[in-house]
Structure 1
Amino acid sequence: MPKRVDKIVIDNSDVIIKNWLKIVSDKKQNDYTSSISDELFQSTNREFVNVIFDSLGNGGITTELESFSERLVNLGWPLSYLTDGLQTFRRVAIDFVLSQHDKIDTDLFSIILDRVDSWVDPIINKLVNEYSGSWEHTVSLQRVALQELSAPLIPVMRNITIMPLIGTIDTERAKLIMENLLDGVIKHNAEVVLIDITGVPVVDTMVAHHIIQAAEAVRLIGATCILVGIRPEIAQTIVNLGIDLGKFPTKSSLRKGFETALELTGRTIYREDKKETIVKDIMNQLSEG
């Protein structure tokens, strides 16, 4: 009997595909696929049902099904499209096989149901595992990217690097800052590192402690750490908390910190001639008038 069920489904694949496509297309108006173009949706549906029948004819999971599901993962199609499509195929196939019998008893129904389930369930399990692995891989890549963006070390000039910090600094991020600082100092042969906290909304005791630890670690490997971007309210908070930042230079702005970094690396800053600046200001005012 199971082989007969297989034969009925495969021999009548055209009818079953037609019924399946109609049901799936009718559902498109109200579900997650409504934003997909009709042409892409229809072509994907046809390919989907073809690989289902291909897997049935070959007695299990095929490379075509694996490549199809992998392509949908990369395109960002939801897993529910595949699982819903397979559940719809299950219902359509069972209904069609039942329609070919004049008399249906409990045993026959059970045989048909078990046979169709033996096709569909392994495919669903395979696709769920495929999507889960892809999702975990994507999340892992996103986590790495976010970590790199949360504590970047940027070389701006020979022996000078800058680490701009934005947002809240917690213990996990502080550990990442420390690692990136130490690795970056060695990698870029940095003599001076500017830690810019302009974008850090709150500097409390814990944040200051992490920054001090990072600066001390940088000092131990032979470089100097300059803390820049200290706003007046941050300075007041640091004083009120009794935090000692006297072990390394601090500057109110990145520009001032960079000037100090140039001096520490043996570079000379030449100022523009004041008289020339005054003449330029006068000419600009006359032209504006």
Structure 2
Amino acid sequence: MNKKMTTFMQDNIEEILVEWQELMKDDSDERFFQVMSQDVITKTSREFAELMISNLFEGENDYDNRLKEFTNKVVRFGWSISFVMSAINHFAQVVYEMLEKNKTINEQNLKEYVMIFTNWISPMRDGILETYAKTWERTVQLQRMALQELSASLIPVFDKISVMPLVGTIDTERAKLIIENLLEGVVKHRAEVVLLDITGVPVVDTMVAHHIIQAADAVRLVGAKCMLVGIRPEIAQTIVTLGINLKDFTTTSTLQRGVEQALAWTNRKIVEVE
């Protein structure tokens, strides 16, 4: 029966895909079919169908390789795990209804086909869940490492003046890295003034402010001054609304003004030369 069902799906793949896509488009939380081009939708849908069919007849190693390759792709497309599970269920539903419609499934063999569908779908769900979890975890880890490398370096811009540009969300783990790099950078570059540039930080809440205050306190303990720059109007409004106390900070709206103030603190200034 496995061979018969496989042959049926291969012979009717176009009709199966059309009905499957219609069911997927009706899902209220799906975005893939709205944001992707038709070429990408067609290609990815066909790959998904081939993956579903291959589970019935391919060897374990071949299927596992195909599963990993497909899962990597849908993670990049942003498919949620619930969307993947819905895709599997809808595909099985379309196949079952078509087999029932053409009388391949009837009262005499219903129990056998139910067992075939169970043995077909359940291992696939388990395999995709496991592969998806590993792929997503690896992707998140790589993104975290890239973000840490990008946004936690102290950069000397003038003698005695250094800048640390902060990019992205600041959590507890990143805050520890920021403080470590700050202290090492202050000593290494002999900085007297450090500018923390939060232009690239999308949201400043109480927790983020707490981490920034900790970083500034650590800088002062090693004998340097700390300034907070890049405070956009919406960030300023949030800070005031939350009642975050930044009175011990010198703050400016732009990095340029911060550098001018830092130069003044070190008895220097920028002048125009004719």
TM-score, normalised with respect to structure 1: 0.62
2 CA distance for matches of 1:160 and 1:146?
24
Instruction: Mark the structure with the bigger radius of gyration.
Output: 1
Larger CA deviation: 80-89 vs 160-169: 160-169
Q: Secondary structure at the match of 1:196?
A: strand
Q: Which of 65, 86, 90 is the equivalent residue of 2:92?
A: 90
TM-superposed CA distance for 1:119, in Å, is 1.7
TM-superposed CA distance for 1:190, in Å, is 0.5
1 CA distance for matches of 2:91 and 2:150?
45
Number of matched residues?
Answer: 241
Q: Is 1:178 aligned to 2:174, yes or no?
A: no
TM-superposed CA distance for 1:142, in Å, is 4.2
For the 8 Å contact 1:164–1:195, the answer to whether it is kept is: no
Q: Secondary structure at the match of 1:192?
A: coil
Change (3 A) 1:94 1:24: closer
Change (3 A) 1:17 1:155: same
Identity level (%): 28
Change (3 A) 1:178 1:70: closer
Q: Is 1:64 aligned to 2:66, yes or no?
A: yes
Q: Match for 2:157: what amino acid?
A: V
CA distances 1:35-85 after superposition (whole Å, capped 9, x unpaired): 333332222222221232223112543422321222222233444453333
Change (3 A) 1:154 1:96: same
Q: Secondary structure at the match of 1:43?
A: helix
1 CA distance for matches of 2:83 and 2:245?
55
Q: Which of 198, 203, 216 is the equivalent residue of 1:211?
A: 216
**Structure 2: where are the runs of 5+ without partners?**
199-203, 230-239, 250-256
Q: Secondary structure at the match of 1:195?
A: strand
* Equivalent runs, 1:142-181 vs 2, <5 Å: 142-144=143-145, 152-157=153-158, 160-163=161-164, 175-181=176-182
Question: For residue 236 of structure 2, what is the aligned residue in structure 1?
Answer: none
Question: For residue 133 of structure 1, what is the aligned residue in structure 2?
Answer: 134
Q: Secondary structure at the match of 2:34?
A: coil
**Structure 1: where are the runs of 5+ without partners?**
220-224, 244-251, 277-289
CA distances 1:118-170 after superposition (whole Å, capped 9, x unpaired): 12222222222222223223333444455566654222146642236799999
Question: For residue 194 of structure 2, what is the aligned residue in structure 1?
Answer: 195
TM-score, normalised with respect to structure 2: 0.65
For the 8 Å contact 1:94–1:113, the answer to whether it is kept is: no
Q: Match for 2:43: what amino acid?
A: S
Question: For residue 104 of structure 2, what is the aligned residue in structure 1?
Answer: 100
* Equivalent runs, 1:112-131 vs 2, <5 Å: 112-131=113-132
Question: For residue 20 of structure 2, what is the aligned residue in structure 1?
Answer: 24
TM-superposed CA distance for 1:179, in Å, is 0.5
For the 8 Å contact 1:163–1:193, the answer to whether it is kept is: no
1 CA distance for matches of 2:55 and 2:105?
25
Change (3 A) 1:11 1:24: closer
2 CA distance for matches of 1:236 and 1:50?
58
